Chain A
Amino acid sequence: MRSLQREPGVLLALLAVIALVAMFIVYPQVRVVLTPGSAYVDFLSAGSWKTPLLNSLQVMALSTTTAVLIGFVFAYAMVYTDMRWKPLFRLIGILPLLSPPFVVAASYILLFGPRGVITYGVFGQTISIFGLAGIWGVQTIAFFPFAYQLIADVLSRSDARMEQAARNLGAGPWSVFRTVTLPLSRPGLGAAILTTAIYVLEDFGNPALVGGQFTVLPTQAYGLISGFGDLPSAAAVSTILLSLALLLYVAKIRLDGGQSFVTVSGRASSMPRPPVPPWLSWACFAVCGALCGMILLVYGSLVVSAFTLTFPVNTAFTTSHFEYVFSGVNGVALRNTLVYGLSAAAFSSVFALLAAWLVQRGAWSGRRVLDFLLIMPAAVPGLFFGIGYATAFNEQWLDWLNRGVLIIISMIFWNIPVGYQAAVAGLRQIDRSMDEAATSLGASSLRGFRDVLLPMLGGSLRVGFVTTFVRAVTTLSVVIFLFTPGTTVATIRIFQLVNDLDWGGATAFTVIDIGLAIVALSVMAVLARGRIALGASRA
């Protein structure tokens, strides 16, 4: 604490972070939970949450396992192999992140349902994808990109020297992977597993669409809110979700075990990674290819739907859906989506880095609490988060506040966990001597953070930015209670079109939404590269 007093800048930053977290993460949740009445307790004692809880745990175990495994294969293939078509796979791998889940799940049903275009139309099979198997499959595809992003970031920062050393000691590629690569990626893996598990736990869209009669906690919470208007009971469900998140969090702390995983020490190395055998490259290529093929099929069907009258019944070509999307309020929604998504992503990723730095590098008590609070939003169902904001910040004295700003703030803090986790994993791989070098050269801690750590954490920053952006532009549940006529967003419009049974319009809107997101991300990528190069040549 003494060192904090000595650097008022850091103290100020810390106080600001704590204040913001208290105001925008803790307070809205508290407001919802503190709804008067005994319904909260009654609901818990009635025990109707037990089956959904068990279901949620089951789904979490299954989907997290497969999503992390596939994410790991994908990341390994990207970082370690000289597999062909990498840029293409990278782009396709990110697609599942870029679209509102309810559209994708609907597309899965269209393709793979009992009368799916593929399952029935091509193979003549009537299979039921509704229920646990359906949730498992769809969530695996939907969430592996999160795991992939986090793991790839960690793998690419691991030190090739360690692997060379292991190869030199006689370890084969597999055993290097098992004994060096894997243990070195442990903090990143821990973060990836935790984050993925929490997202799976919190996922509402997929279980709602393909869950059949398989109820999980978020669908139960949604039912309580939407069907019964029963906020206290929904708060109870949300509390159960949060408790699970807390358990996962404790497990993660245990997993990391306080070991040091520093692999960037500032002693520069230009050593290449040991080559992997060709068969492994090809195996990775096959896995990534199959996965990407599946994803392309789903997104291809969205494009086809967007250009046909009523897919799959009437497949006559039309551009009328697109003309509709560009008319009237829809254009506003697209613009808002971009503005909100980009602002939220920029603020969220930088804020997450700052917070991660304060927690990871600081030596003040209460770090663990802040650490948990920054991961917590991932376990709060978006719907609940949105209601929290609608309740807490819909006050007369706050009416001057533009609703768009509130939406951006909600997106920032709902998505903090991704950027935060990525930043923590990144920081743990950078030796403290890097910060200290800057300090000993006269830079204050904050200055050193800005000049030295921030550029080195480019990967984490990018992960935070990209995932926050895509989650912000694809979320429906957070904004559904916050948007106003002038601050409507694409997901709201798509939801409206789907409910209006305008599948053509909904898919056209989705295609444009995804296209815009890709363009926005590409521009950001180019800009970011330019900025880093600029910073480096500034000397």
Chain B
Amino acid sequence: MHLRLDHVTKRFGDTAAVDDISFEVPRGSFATLLGPSGCGKTTTLRMIAGFYDPDHGDIVLGGKRINELPAHRRGTAMVFQDYALFPHMTVKGNVSYGLRVARVPAADRERRVTDILQFVGLAGLGDRWPNQLSGGQQQRVAVGRALVLEPQILLLDEPLSNLDAKLRVQLRWELRALQQRLGMTFVYVTHDQDEALSLSDWIAVMNAGKVEQAGTPWEIYYHPRTSFLADFVGAVNLVPGTVREVRGEEVVVAFGERAVTVRRPSGLALSVGREVHLCVRPEALALRPASADPDGVRLPGVVARRAFLGDLMRYWVTVDGREWIVDQPDPGAAADFDGPVTVAVKPERIHVIAE
């Protein structure tokens, strides 16, 4: 393991910004701390960087406890949300700053700065001042400035949040490609679930100072352990229900007048009568004409409204007085639905959340 946090707590006054969290990040992985603002993700990142001292717990980097190591000796370069470019230094000045601090010889320094500028796509802009650059370029300077030091680990604090949507997506891929090329460990903080899902090898979703769940994007998205989490990482249908029967690896969950047999989530002990939520992603549902009789679970309903999102059509369908979100891909390929419809879902696409 490259980075390990062990029962780390940080309090500000009476509130615990980070409350007894533990996780591990393997070497060379792209790890993301995801959560709404105020969840403690930035505080966690800043503790790794050494800007805050944890009140309890250990931070271990490369097998070494770094709690007592001053921030500037940790080798944890950071990319800041506002980039924190030094306005009185040129692009080159910013990028070479860390090398100058480390007393890298001038010739070597020059070469590495040129290389890194090339690498982040800023070749030829070295003599510009930060205020002469676009937002995307400033972001690249910030990344280049951190990367040039070849740090053990790169910390990124919402580095894309100040950019426009298209650029954000483009730079997202660039960051991911960069990380894979370098094989470096990235710890990335964001509140944007798309970003987190698309970039990460591993995600820890934080809420109120705690890690709600950590795992691969796939696990987080399809097998959330809490309804908060299910809701936070994407559009979801959360339907309250009750466990009626437990049969080995399967459970029967009653919701409203209906019941469905689904797979029991591994490691989750469920007893009869337990209140649960059924969790279904909108794209796992399909719309059929009211008369159709598809396999799996069939839910008769009425289309309440719909929204055209380009790559898909989103429907809100009223079933037993409750609205379900249903996404139909490739809207251009089929006619729109209206009025009474049947919502179809395969039982294996339904996930049970025990709360």
Chain A interface, >50% SS class:
helix
Of the residues A266, A451, A535, contact of B82 by C-beta under 8 Å: A266
**Chain B residues with CB below 8 A from A268, complex form:** 83, 85, 87, 129-133, 138
Selecting from A170-178, A317-325, A438-446, the interface stretch reads A438-446
Of the residues B70, B87, B93, B133, contact of A539 by C-beta under 8 Å: B93
Of the residues A6, A264, A431, A441, contact of B98 by C-beta under 8 Å: A441
Q: Does A2 contact B (CB under 8 A)?
A: yes
**Chain A residues with CB below 8 A from B84, complex form:** 265-266, 431, 433-434, 436-437
Of the residues B51, B82, B98, contact of A442 by C-beta under 8 Å: B98
Alpha-carbon distance A165/B145, docked complex (angstroms): 30
State which residues 408-449 of A face B: CB under 8 Å: 431, 433-434, 436-445, 447-448
Give 1 or 0 for each of B89-116: 1 = CB within 8 Å of chain A CB.
1101110111011100000000000000
Q: Are A441 and B88 in contact (CB under 8 A)?
A: no
Q: Does B155 contact A (CB under 8 A)?
A: yes
Q: Does A398 contact B (CB under 8 A)?
A: no
Q: Are B80 and A451 in contact (CB under 8 A)?
A: no
Q: Does B78 contact A (CB under 8 A)?
A: yes
**Chain A residues with CB below 8 A from B133, complex form:** 268
Give 1 or 0 for each of A223-267: 1 = CB within 8 Å of chain B CB.
000000000000000000000000000000000000000001111
Of the residues B49, B53, B129, B149, contact of A436 by C-beta under 8 Å: B49
Give 1 or 0 for each of B38-82: 1 = CB within 8 Å of chain A CB.
000000001001110100000000000000111111011110111
Q: Are A538 and B93 in contact (CB under 8 A)?
A: yes
Q: Are B82 and A440 in contact (CB under 8 A)?
A: no
Q: Are B80 and A539 in contact (CB under 8 A)?
A: no
**Chain A residues with CB below 8 A from B72, complex form:** 439-445, 447-448
Alpha-carbon distance A436/B145, docked complex (angstroms): 13
**Chain A residues with CB below 8 A from B97, complex form:** 438, 441, 443, 451, 539
Alpha-carbon distance A438/B87, docked complex (angstroms): 13
Alpha-carbon distance A434/B133, docked complex (angstroms): 18
Q: Which bracket fits the contact residues of A?
A: 35 or more
Q: Are A436 and B51 in contact (CB under 8 A)?
A: yes
Q: Are A437 and B88 CB-contacts (below 8 A) given A6-B70, A267-B83, A539-B96?
A: no
**Chain B residues with CB below 8 A from A137, complex form:** none
**Chain A residues with CB below 8 A from B89, complex form:** 536, 539
Q: Are B80 and A433 in contact (CB under 8 A)?
A: yes
Q: Does A294 contact B (CB under 8 A)?
A: no
Q: Are A441 and B145 in contact (CB under 8 A)?
A: yes
Residue of A nearest to B157 (CB): A433
Q: Are A439 and B138 in contact (CB under 8 A)?
A: no
**Shortest CB–CB separation between residue B301 and chain A, in angstroms?**
44
Q: Are A442 and B86 in contact (CB under 8 A)?
A: no
**Chain B residues with CB below 8 A from A536, complex form:** 88-90, 93
Q: Are A532 and B88 CB-contacts (below 8 A) given A3-B53, A447-B101?
A: yes
Residue of B nearest to A458 (CB): B88
Residue of B nearest to A455 (CB): B88
State which residues 145-168 of B face A: CB under 8 Å: 145-146, 149, 155, 162
**Shortest CB–CB separation between residue B150 and chain A, in angstroms?**
11
**Chain B residues with CB below 8 A from A448, complex form:** 72
Q: Are A270 and B77 in contact (CB under 8 A)?
A: no
Q: Are B70 and A7 in contact (CB under 8 A)?
A: yes
Q: Are A441 and B138 in contact (CB under 8 A)?
A: no
Q: Does A452 contact B (CB under 8 A)?
A: yes
Q: Are A264 and B77 CB-contacts (below 8 A) given A7-B70, A442-B72, A442-B101?
A: no
Q: Are A265 and B82 in contact (CB under 8 A)?
A: yes
Give 1 or 0 for each of A17-43: 1 = CB within 8 Å of chain B CB.
000000000000000000000000000
Q: Are A6 and B86 in contact (CB under 8 A)?
A: no
Q: Does A314 contact B (CB under 8 A)?
A: no
Q: Does A269 contact B (CB under 8 A)?
A: yes
Of the residues B46, B53, B68, B101, contact of A441 by C-beta under 8 Å: B101
Q: Does A456 contact B (CB under 8 A)?
A: yes
Residue of B nearest to A269 (CB): B131
State which residues 367-395 of A face B: CB under 8 Å: none
**Shortest CB–CB separation between residue A261 and chain B, in angstroms?**
15
**Shortest CB–CB separation between residue A530 and chain B, in angstroms?**
14
Q: Can you name 16 A-B pairs with beta carbons within 8 Å?
A: A2-B53, A6-B68, A6-B69, A266-B82, A268-B131, A436-B71, A436-B78, A437-B145, A440-B76, A440-B155, A442-B102, A443-B97, A444-B70, A444-B72, A447-B72, A451-B97
